[in-house]
């Protein structure tokens, strides 16, 4: 089900596949499970004995206004309140002052 569930493939359909197709799918899933959850690269990408290279990937700095806004909120004094531990900053469309959920109630 690790392969079928996330893809919405009924188990009965998967079991109707040829053994070779099932093995290929499960092998692919096993390989995908080894990907780094942080950066998404596979250990083999970096391992020369597996056909990879130490220079397989490089870092690039990208600026995202949405991520900057989330970080700004997470660093704000109001987020230092211990009662807000575990809270997440979600982006909402439009300006803060126009947001029905965010503006102070009169």
Instruction: Give the mean pLDDT per block of 10 residues along the chain (106 residues).
Output: 89 95 94 91 93 92 92 88 84 82 68
* Phi, psi at 50, each rounded to 5°: -105, 15
* 75 SS3 class: coil
Cα gap 44→23, rounded to integer Å:
20
**pLDDT value of residue 104:** 65
Cα gap 44→56, rounded to integer Å:
10
**pLDDT value of residue 87:** 83
Asked whether residue 37 is domain-assigned, the answer is yes
Structure token pair of residue 14? 């998967």
Q: Write out the residue range of the structural domain in which residue 73 sits.
A: 65-98
Neighbouring C-beta atoms of residue 44, cutoff 10 Å: 15
**pLDDT value of residue 18:** 96
**pLDDT value of residue 85:** 83
Asked whether residue 86 is domain-assigned, the answer is yes
Same domain, residue pair 39 and 72: no
CA angle 72, 93, 87 (to 5 degrees): 45
> 52 to each of 14, 24, 28, 46, how far by Cα in Å?
32, 21, 17, 5
Domains in the chain, number:
2
**pLDDT value of residue 100:** 82
Asked whether residue 18 is domain-assigned, the answer is yes
Same domain, residue pair 45 and 74: no
**pLDDT value of residue 57:** 92
């Amino acid at each position: 089900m690790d392969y079928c569930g996330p893809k919405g493939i009924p188990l009965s359909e998967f079991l109707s596949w040829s053994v070779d197709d099932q093995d290929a799918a499960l092998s692919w899933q096993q390989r995908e499970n080894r990907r780094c959850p942080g950066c998404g690269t596979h250990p083999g990408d970096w391992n020369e004995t597996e056909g990879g290279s130490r220079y397989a990937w490089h870092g690039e700095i990208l600026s995202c206004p949405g991520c900057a806004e989330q970080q700004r909120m997470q660093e704000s004094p109001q987020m230092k309140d211990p009662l807000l531990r575990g809270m997440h900053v979600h982006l909402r469309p439009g300006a803060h002052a126009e947001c029905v959920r965010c503006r102070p109630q009169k």
